[in-house]
Amino acid sequence: MRSIQQLLMEHPFFAGLDDSTVSMLVGCSRNVHFRPGEYLFYEGEPADRFFVVRRGRVALDVHVLGQAEQIIDTLDEGEVVGWSWLVPPYRWFFDARAMQDVSAVAVDATCLRDKCDEDPALGYLMMQRVAQVMYHRLQSARVRLLDLYGADRAG
Amino acid sequence: MPAEVSVAPVAAPIPDAWLPRPFRVVATRRDTHDTATLELEALDGDGLAFTPGQFTMLSAFGIGEVPISISGDPARPDRLVHTIRDVGGVTQALCAAQPGDVLGVRGPLGVGWGVPDAKGGDLVIVAGGIGLAPLRPAVLAVLAARQDFGRVHVLYGARTADDVLFVDDLAAWASAADVQVTVDRALRSWAGRVGLVTELIPRASFDPARTLALVCGPEVMMRYVAAALIARGLPPDRIRLSLERNMRCGIGLCGHCQLREYLICVDGPVLPLDAVQPLLGVREL
């Protein structure tokens, strides 16, 4: 069985971090599992952790009054769920639901924020990584706003 | 250095190139709310041999003629298949065609995907929306000679689950290729991925040095897909796009589909990225 240190080092989000940095993060992390249909978190709850997905698929759901529940994004193995832990007011903006059996490492946000405050180099490193995730999600959302596959081609 | 794409010489009228051959609709299928597939047989019984990526000028008599990619099996020239999205008067008439109706066909026309160029290496096929239709013959040709190719990925993006084309085909292809489907947004009942088709590219396993990529979809999507493929190390001359312009004659005479030095109907519709990359960002083109 792999240790949390190994699991973190193998995950793309932490790729390239040195052993000592990952060791610092291990103290804030634990292994978690979700069955299909279970929620990782709900909209409006405190964003007190984030998840690095090792296996399975997670849906980000949004409820719109009077409409069917929509999935606005899915996150698979190798991706990260949640960045609200980094930005006040530290509340989840969407629901996160396991679509399959999901194995992840949950990283405690308060613990990690404290370590980042103590060690600005670590804080900068984490901010760079989260910014990369945010950048890709923002680009994805922007391009999808274009409604690319609309009725503009005769076929 | 830009690719050397042979530009067709000034076209001379081809005998009968303007004359549609009559084909009878023998089967129809409603694929999505705005897309239908027609199966056609030539009244003269000769069939229509084609290479994947080619198109025909398809006419609804008395209404008009439009370019439509062939979506059928190249091993079945006896059965011409077109998948058509209803986006205007002519395509609406074509989508409404019923078995027994007779349509006009000119073609096959244009330059196809060049699927044999991928033999011995990996193949990445990226489609968006109705763009899967011109790629379907390429997938069928590859799967018919599966042993000739390395890893084969079919990456497909659609607007919603209800807009996914060739659902049965995608499931069948998954036994011989890596097939990934993603949609822009979905209801909770959807079990697949939600996100951009470009996000599937970093996850695909292929050797960039010996990979050919075939891409078809809205032009904006193709730009982003091309950028993602280049980021994976694919050289632009190994990325082929199917371009769509306003084709009228289909035989290089009228110039309606001109993209600077290219007449898309005869030099394309499939062109390598390095040939057209500088042109794709030019707004007036």
Rounded distance between C-alpha atoms, residue B212 and residue B117, angstroms: 8
Looking at the complex, does the CB of residue B195 fall below 8 Å from at least one CB of chain A?
A: yes
Q: Which 90-109 residues of chain A touch chain B by CB within 8 A? A: 99
pLDDT number for residue B285: 61
Looking at the complex, does the CB of residue A146 fall below 8 Å from at least one CB of chain B?
A: yes
pLDDT number for residue B9: 61
Architecture of domain B16-109: Beta Barrel (2.40)
pLDDT number for residue B49: 94
**CATH: 3.40.50.2000, 3.90.1300.10, 3.40.50.261, 3.40.50.80. Which one for B115-241?**
3.40.50.80
Instruction: Say whether pTM exceeds 0.80.
Output: yes
Beta carbons of A151 and B220 less than 8 Å apart:
no
Band of pLDDT at residue A16, cut at 50, 70 and 90: confident
Listed by start position, the domains of chain A span 4-144
Q: CB-based contacts of B120: which residues, under 8 Å, 6+ apart?
A: B148, B149, B150, B210
pLDDT number for residue A153: 45
Residues of B in contact with A155 (CB under 8 A): 35, 68-69, 82-85, 91, 130, 133
Average pLDDT for residues A33-51, to the nearest whole number?
95
Give Cα B242 to chain centroid, integer Å: 6
- Of A22-36, A54-68, B2-16, B187-201, the range with the lowest mean pLDDT is B2-16
* Residue of B237, B236, B196 whose CA lies nearest to B220: B196
Average pLDDT for residues A48-77, to the nearest whole number?
92
Band of pLDDT at residue A67, cut at 50, 70 and 90: confident
Q: Do B104 and B23 meet the contact criterion of CB atoms below 8 Å apart?
A: yes
Q: Which 18-77 residues of chain A touch chain B by CB within 8 A? A: 57, 59, 61, 68-74, 76
Looking at the complex, does the CB of residue B57 fall below 8 Å from at least one CB of chain A?
A: no
Average pLDDT for residues A105-114, to the nearest whole number?
93
- Which of B38, B184, B197 should one mutate to test binding to chain A, selecting the residue with the greatest count of A CBs within 10 A? B184
Does ipTM come in above 0.90? no
Ranges under pLDDT 70 in chain B: 1-15, 283-285
pLDDT number for residue A86: 85
Residues of A in contact with B187 (CB under 8 A): 68-71
CATH code at A4-144: 2.60.120.10
* Residue of B219, B140, B196, B195 whose CA lies nearest to B173: B140
Closest chain A CA to residue B88:
A154
Rounded distance between C-alpha atoms, residue B264 and residue B245, angstroms: 7
Q: Do B50 and B109 meet the contact criterion of CB atoms below 8 Å apart?
A: no
CATH 2.10.240 fits B243-285, yes or no: yes
State percent of chain A over pLDDT 90: 59
